[in-house]
Each structure stands twice: as C-alpha cells, then as structure tokens.
A and B are shown apart, each in its own frame.
Chain A
Amino acid sequence: MTREVMDYDVVIVGAGPSGLSTAIRLKQLAADEGAEISVCVVEKGSEVGAHILSGAVIETRALDELLPDWQALGAPLNTPVVEDRFLLLSESGARKLPTPPQMHNEGNYIVSLGNVVRWLGEQAEALGVEIYPGFAAAELLVEDGIVRGVATGDMGVTREGEPGPNHQPGIELRAPHTVFAEGCRGSLSQSLMARFQLRVDSDPQTYGLGIKELWEVDPSVHRPGLTLHTIGWPLRADTYGGSFLYHLENHQVAVGFVVGLDYANPHLSPFEEFQRFKTHPAIRGVFEQGRRISYGARALNEGGFQSLPKLVFPGGMLVGDAAGFLNVPKIKGTHMAMKSGIVAAEALHAHRAGQGGSVVAGYPERLRQSWLWDELRGVRNIRPSFRWGLWGGLAYSALDTYVLRGRAPWTLRNHADHTALKPASACRPIDYPKPDGKISFDRLSSVFISATNHAEDQPCHLRLKDEALPMSVNRALFDAPEQRYCPAGVYEIVEDAGAARLQINAQNCLHCKTCDIKDPRQNITWTPPEGGGGPNYPNM
C-alpha cells in the first residue's frame, strides 16, 4: 500500500521540552533572517502535554535563553521555591540533612511540566510550527543509510494485525533532517542506536523509574514553594532512590518516588515502595485530609555523561532525554533537555546554510562548548558511586562535590540495569503492607486516574521476542519481576486450566518504558500503540 507523503525541512519526533525547544529555536533563527523553514512535530499523546510527567522543579537557564520574556508571555511558572528540606528517613524517624549544593533551588520554580510544555506548544504554534498530537512516529524511513524521516503508525488495525473497517494507513513525514526528541528510552531512538551503532563508545544507559501522584491537600498543611526530598526508608541502603514532595499552587502537592532500576532484588516493587513511603509519620500528615487527583509513571535517564550516545547520524540527531542529559544530583533534566534542543537547532540552522551533507557534526561540537557539557561532566561520578550503597554513595558524593569539585581524574563506569537482578531464591522477600485506600492505594485504582486508554481492538504494543521466556526464565529464576516493576499492572501471571501464563494488559500501559529497560533478558520491546493512546495526564 502506498502511503501519503508530506515533506518538511525538519521533522521532530516528540512534543516535549527538547523537541519544542528545537522547533521554537529553528523558527526564531529563520525569522531573524527573514527566511522560511517548515517544521513539523509529531506527538503520540492525545494532546501536547498528555504524556508529560515530571516533578518538577525547573531551572530557568535554558528558558531564559530561548524565550527571555517568558514571564510576559504567560509561562506557567507561578511558584518560586522558597524553602528546601532534605530528610533521611528511618522506619519511624526523620533526620534533617544539610541540603547538598546541587539541590539548592533559589531562583527555581515548582511547576507542572505538563502545563509548561502545553505553553511551549502554544509558543511554537504561534511561530508557525505544525504540531500534530495523536500521531505516533512508528517507523524510521532509512534509505541508503540515511534517515529520510519517519512514518506515523496505521490507525484502525485489528488485534490480529489486519486492517479494520476504519483503517487509515500512516503518513510518511519526510525531511532532510529528523530530530528525535522522544524522551527517555524512545522506541525509535533505540532502533537508531542499534542501527547506527551510537553506543559503541559509551557506557550503557542506566535508568530510574519515577512514580508520581498529584494531590489536593488541606489548606492548613499547604506551603506553596516548599520542596522536600527524602532518602532512606522504605528503601534499604543497597537500593538507590528517594522521594520528592513539592507544594505547588492551588493547594496542590506533587509527590513522587524514584527507584534506580539497577536494583538487585526481584521482589522489590517500586510502586509499593512509593505507597509505603507516603505512610511515614513525617510525611502522611500532608495527605491525611487531602485527595489524590492524578497518578502516573515514567522512566528517567540516570547514566549521565559517560552514557551519552553519539548524538548525530546521517539525516538525524538525538536531543533531550532521548539522548540522556538529565543531571542526577540536581534531579533536573528539563533545562538540559531544552538546552540540547536549542543547541541542536542552532547547529542545524548553521548546517543548512552551508552544504554540509546529512550529518550535523556541529551539534555535538557546539554542545561541548556549552554550559550543558560542563554541568553534566562535573557530576558524572555521583550517581555511579551509589553502587557502594547509600552510605558509600553519600560519602563519595560529599568528597566529589566539596573536595574534588567534579574534577576527579577518573570516571566511574555504568552497567546495564537489566543485568543487575539476582535470582529470587537468593534475595530477601519483601512483605508490603496492604493499601488503606486513603493514603496508599493499589495499582488499578491508580491507573484509573491516569486516564490512560488504548483503543481496544489493536495489536498488543508490548512485544515478546521469545514467548517462552516469561515462564522459563522470568518466572523460574526471578519470580516474574514484571508483575512488580510495572507501575500499571500491565503484566500479570494468571492460571489457565492449571497452567500459569503471562497475561499482558496492554491497555493499562502508562508508556513509562520500564519493561523495555528492566526485563532480565531484554525480551520485551515497547512499541508505540495507536496514536492518541496512553495516559491523559492533566498538570503532571
């Protein structure tokens, strides 16, 4: 079947902070010269912002560069940080820790990144960027070793993979340059890394899983501008992770929990660790008179500097979390993602003016000259030092931050998260408390308020390379860890006529990508479902 083709100067995959920053900067640079540039952004979420989930406290450095008059333009940065608290939790106690310098938030804002991205989308459209939410880029168009664009997925394909009555074939979006801004563990970005060997000179990427809830709290406990971070309980010292709790505007509190996906115990459940965390005596008071209004989850990059892939290849480039610029000690990636988008746009603009071929070599070169590079390089050893556990990591981080000041002559290496699991029989089982339905909840009631939805009659978008492995390896050796690491209850072991099998409830999927990352044999491939599917986050 022939697909319709639409030609652009630049196609961008993903309407998040990095993709929209790239689009905005490209349009600004063209406008400065009175030139025209056609820029198309495709987004798999049903609307811009629908799949955006972040803490978030953001630093405005990149936003100041991109849209210096953001305040006048009505950017939804309404809650300046007024106080940072950092706690070490034990099961019943909490001890105040000095806030590390990276975690000082003077001048930063507590925001809903979803709302910030919606606003960025409006700015981009006002500049003439064409944004198409509800369309997933599902396929790379590669010809003669050069990326020529992407194709959107077919709509209206039945569960069996046949065209249904309302079938609409995808569209080819072709451009001399395609910018991949899919966010952490993007499905096309993964294909690109394999195809163009973008990871040969870098460490494996490592990840964390962030789970977040939005609450409306009682005005008496609401302190707009307060940020609280905790480490310690309920995680053991051998597991990397911690919580965030940010008081936003309108009596809303964003609370979340991040667990490093290099955890070893297959019995661990990040979702239940989060639910348990909220019941801590130092924490639960915030929620006692409140109500939970949204839920979501998303994997994030933790590999940092040494895990950065090659950023350019013939016909395309990687920006934002698709490449992995998150600054882990700062717990911030938005300013880095936006900066990488800005630099990519500037390099692409200069490249188009010359006759430079299909590889925009100027992008990594310019990035190395930018503050982003120094910032990421300086903190490169902090996250990997937590391989020595919480205490070793804290001690090393203090040394690295206060004494070495990021200038250590060595670089600690990263290892792939999926290799970290130990056999279930060698690990301590964890007994999680039952949810109380007031402060802690189960997965299904949580997924319900993420407003996630996938058209029912479509092929399963979570593909198994080997149908036998879920039983022969995952269940036999690791007690089916996908039941616990998936924050949406997608994976379920069910008994059918006496035989156990893995059931995949793909319609629950929150597009967090954890299964694609953590499956011990890398047997699960996350592919984009029909466009418009997935969560419908409000201001997450």
Chain B
Amino acid sequence: MKILVPVKRVVDYNVKVRVKADQSGVELANVKMAMNPFDEIAIEEAVRLKEAGVASEVVAVSCGVPACQETLRAALAIGADRAVLVTSVVELQPLAVAKILKAIVEKEAPSLVILGKQAIDDDANQVGQMLAALLDWPQATFASKVEASDGQVRVTREIDGGLETLAMPLPAVITTDLRLNEPRYATLPNIMKAKKKPLETVAGESLGVDLAPRLTTLKVVEPPSRKAGILVADVAQLVDKLKNEAQVL
C-alpha cells in the first residue's frame, strides 16, 4: 500500500507573525520557515504505518516555491521514501492545491492520502475535504487514531462529547488532529540520508489543472490590541457592568 502525504511550508510556529507595512500580507522575508506541524504528524503516521508493515511506500508532496524542497527533505528525514515538488509561479489557494493533489494522486495511485487537518498560516482547513470530493473518495477528518488493514481503515475522531470511529474502504483521505501522534526527532544520520533520497520536481502548469486564485486579499491587519482591564469595587458594580456594558447578563 502506498501512502501520499502532502506537506506545506509555513512560518515556524515559534515566530511571532508580523503584518507587512503595506498591509498586503504577512512578512516572510528573513522569517524562519518550517513544516506545518499537522503535516509533520501526517508524515509520522504514514511512516509508522510503514514501519508496522501496513504501508509499502510513503511519498511526500509539496506545492509552491523551490524552497519547499527543504520541507520535503524534512519529511524524508522523518522517513518518507521519496518526494515530489510541484512548483507554481502563481499564488496557490486551497482549491488549486486540491486539484494539484488530485493530479498527483492519479499519477501515483496511492491507497491512502494523509494530510494535516489545516495549515497554521491560513488555517483554511479545506484541502483534505476538497481533495476527497474531487477524487470521490471517502474521508475521515481530524483523526486521533488510525488503524489500517485488509483494504479498510478505521479512524477515530475526537468530536464534541466523545470519540467517533469510522470505517472506510480504501482508497481514502485522512486528515490529522494534534493528538494522533508525537512526531519523532529526525536523527542526524537520517537527515544525511534524506539528502540522497529522490526528489522529483514537476511544474504545476504541466498538470493541466486550473491553478488561478479565486480569492483576492484586500488587506491584512493585525488584530486590535487588547485593552487593559479595570478593577471593580464590589460585586454590585461587577453585575452592573456585565449587565449594562458587556450586556452578557
């Protein structure tokens, strides 16, 4: 069984994101980039399935600028076998990414696609679902446990008030939640080996899909800064403020 894992290059979670002075977007110059943490969980899960003898090959795929190669190398260091980079000169929005991934799935014919549930930069939470729809495959989102066997996959999801377990026939799409696993540290020898693993580059424009952005960003602004709190004199004043100012009572 082959598993495909899409990974996204995003601003590192340690970095305090800053809006560009002209409000056209978020500052990326000189900012540390890293793999989207949910995608790291997806890679880890795929590699564990391979180590458990369930999967035979793990292919990582990323879409975007040439620097996404670093993200793919990080995936290879965790244990993916090979990588595909789909380059694009236009800004890629979730629908375009889903279409690219559909084209890659048709070429690679994996039994399972595991994606992060969302990327920590745009928080869109769309690609996995769109991909499943475009492929007409079953999907299980926000997985906290994955068990695959005999052409079937059972996925446990954390839902309001409990756990839900779904069974799906393969091929299928899974998106990962935070508690699915804790990704391993890439070891130095594995980072070295990752440099020699195959990484294929495909021009996004050659895939015959429409990559044009559908949304236009008007402007990006920082959230308003929180106002300082006040000390109330007594309970009566508190109740009064909750009633009349905050209007929550």
Contacts and interface: CB of A to CB of B under 8 A. Distances in A.
A164 to B, nearest CB: 9
Nearest to A452: B14
Q: Which among A6, A448, A453, A538 has the greatest number of chain B C-beta atoms within 10 A?
A: A538
Given A165-B182, A216-B21, A538 B32 contact: yes
B3 to A, nearest CB: 21
Interface string A450-481: 01110000000000000000000000000000
B189 interface: yes
Interface in B123-168: none
Given A112-B30, A536-B15, A4 B185 contact: no
A251 B21 contact: yes
B185 A448 contact: no
B30 A539 contact: yes
A451 B189 contact: no
A289 to B, nearest CB: 11
Given A114-B30, A130-B192, A132-B191, A536 B14 contact: yes
Interface string B5-31: 000000010111010010000010111
A539 B28 CA distance: 12
Contacts of A216: 21
Contacts of A135: 188
A536 B12 contact: yes
Contacts of A238: none
Interface string B166-189: 000000000000000011110111
A536 B32 contact: yes
Contacts of A115: 30
A539 B189 CA distance: 29
B63 to A, nearest CB: 22
Contact of A168 (B12, B21, B31, B185): B185
Contacts of B21: 216, 251
Given A293-B18, A538-B32, A166 B12 contact: no
Nearest to A173: B188
B185 to A, nearest CB: 4
Contacts of A166: 182-185
A139 interface: no
Contacts of A165: 182
A6 B188 contact: yes
Contacts of A286: none
A46 B32 contact: yes
Contact of A46 (B12, B30, B183, B189): B12
Interface string A1-43: 0001010000000000000000000000000000000000000
A514 interface: no
A369 B51 CA distance: 58
Contact of A538 (B31, B184, B189): B31
A448 B30 contact: no
Interface string A239-271: 000000000001100000000000000000000
A155 B182 CA distance: 14
A216 B27 CA distance: 12
Contact of B188 (A112, A152, A452): A152
A293 B29 CA distance: 12
B141 to A, nearest CB: 25
Given A112-B30, A166-B185, A448 B16 contact: yes
Given A47-B32, A251-B21, A448-B16, A171 B185 contact: no
B222 to A, nearest CB: 10
A540 to B, nearest CB: 9
A52 to B, nearest CB: 12
A451 B184 contact: no
A156 interface: yes
A213 to B, nearest CB: 14
Most chain A CB within a 10 A radius of its CB, from B14, B21, B27? B14
Contacts of B27: 293
A449 B14 CA distance: 9
Contacts of B192: 6, 130
Contacts of B185: 155-156, 166, 168
Given A168-B184, A539-B30, A4 B189 contact: yes
A395 B192 CA distance: 56
Contacts of A448: 16
A290 B56 CA distance: 55
A451 B15 contact: yes
A50 interface: yes
B15 to A, nearest CB: 5
A112 B182 CA distance: 36
Chain B CB within 10 Å, residue with most, of A6, A132, A168, A250: A168
Contacts of A4: 187-189
Contacts of A250: 29
A538 B188 CA distance: 24
Nearest to B187: A168
Contacts of B12: 46, 451, 536
A293 B26 CA distance: 13
A132 B186 CA distance: 11
Given A251-B21, A536-B15, A171 B32 contact: no
A449 B32 contact: no
Contacts of B184: 166, 168
A35 B121 CA distance: 46
Nearest to A219: B21
B16 A453 contact: no
A293 B192 CA distance: 34
Contacts of B14: 46, 451-453, 536
A156 B186 CA distance: 11
A6 B32 contact: no
Contact of B30 (A130, A449, A538): A538
A464 B55 CA distance: 49
A130 to B, nearest CB: 7
A538 to B, nearest CB: 4
A534 to B, nearest CB: 10
Contacts of A6: 188-189, 192
B224 to A, nearest CB: 15
A251 B21 CA distance: 10
B18 A171 contact: no
Given A130-B192, A448-B16, 7 more contacts: A6-B188, A152-B188, A166-B182, A168-B187, A251-B21, A451-B14, A539-B29
The 9 A-B pairs with the shortest beta carbon distances in the complex, nearest first, are: A538-B30, A539-B30, A155-B185, A453-B14, A168-B185, A536-B32, A171-B188, A451-B14, A451-B15
14 contacts: A4-B187, A6-B192, A47-B32, A130-B192, A152-B188, A165-B182, A166-B183, A168-B187, A448-B16, A449-B16, A451-B14, A451-B15, A451-B16, A538-B32
